[in-house]
Structure 1
Amino acid sequence: MTDEHTADRDELALGRIETEVALLMRFGEATRRGTGTTEHRLLDRAAYVILRHLASVGPQNVSALAAKLNLDGSTVTRQVSAMQRDGLIARTPDPTDGRGTVISPTPAGLQRMAAVQAARTRLYGDILAAWSPDDRDSLAALLHRLNQALESRSRPR
């Protein structure tokens, strides 16, 4: 195989990847909006992502949360304030900085997050029912690699 052939093949693959990721985002959003079950609507997307992260790593201050999610601090502050009003998170004094607070999920927040996660897992189980367990494992591994690469790319350099 020549270097030119390899470059052409790689360019074609990258174009297909771009198309498939664009379609994935569009169909994913359409699926989320079109799903009729209540569980899918218990949390908006931002609250779900924040609660999943906090459940995974534990309490964090807004700055750390914003950095992890690659969002502006003021955006996260607004989202967290709305979540606090809804009883999904609690703020407590930051043990490392007496002036700040840390955010942690409430039992109600964790319960809603678990309901949404279970509903999404069932949905993907239905969508991927015809796929073999090996294909599902491969998809999970490749999506994880893609998300890691996207996360690394989005960090400030």
Structure 2
Amino acid sequence: MGEDISTEAGDVTLGRIETEVAMLMRLGEATRRRTSAEHRVLDRAAYVILRHLADAGPQNVSALAARLDLDGSTVTRQVSAMQRDGLITREPDPHDGRGMVVSPTPAGLQRMAAVQAARTRLYGEILADWAPEDRDTLAEMLYRLNQSLERRPRR
């Protein structure tokens, strides 16, 4: 009998998590649309790709697609658009002469840094009345959630 109560409580908690994540995604997108142009100098895909390249270094499109859990053709289209915009360069892969690696340009890194700074300021404003410990807890819980999502088997 105690197991049923525990399971029901767990289901309620998981339902709350599902609702809050859905609201976070919706409110995050709405906030992005309402904020200054500084936040929108890059589309979401370009920002994520540039953040990854800045952290991990040059990547081939396949590695980039795998890391971002996207289809290779999707990443190829995004990379082509980013190259046209001067945000990234493609060069021969030193480990595989048939392939190409993608690297951020200084302009791409500059735009990425501007968006990152604007977003950081925005979260500073949103969380201004939160205790530092609560901010730390939120950061750690979001990190753990993302790690769990990344470890989930792809289908």
How high is the TM-score relative to the length of structure 1?
0.96
2:93 paired with 1:94 = yes
Mapped to 2, the partners of 1:154 and 1:88 lie a distance apart of 31
2:86 paired with 1:75 = no
1:133 corresponds to: 132
Shift of 1:155: 3.5
Mapped to 1, the partners of 2:81 and 2:150 lie a distance apart of 26
2:5 corresponds to: 5
Alignment of 1:10-49 (within 5 A): 10-35=10-35, 37-49=36-48
Mapped to 2, the partners of 1:148 and 1:39 lie a distance apart of 29
Shift of 1:5: 1.5
Contact 1:70 1:154 in 2 (8 A): no
Residue type of the alignment partner of 1:7: T
Q: Look up the SS of the partner of 1:100 in the other structure.
A: strand
Contact 1:61 1:102 in 2 (8 A): yes
In the alignment, structure 1 segments of 5+ residues that lack a partner are none
1:114 corresponds to: 113
Residue type of the alignment partner of 2:17: I
How high is the TM-score relative to the length of structure 2?
0.97
Mapped to 2, the partners of 1:92 and 1:132 lie a distance apart of 46
Q: Look up the SS of the partner of 2:59 in the other structure.
A: coil
Q: Look up the SS of the partner of 1:71 in the other structure.
A: coil
Shift of 1:38: 2.1
- Runs of 4 or more above 3 Å deviation: none
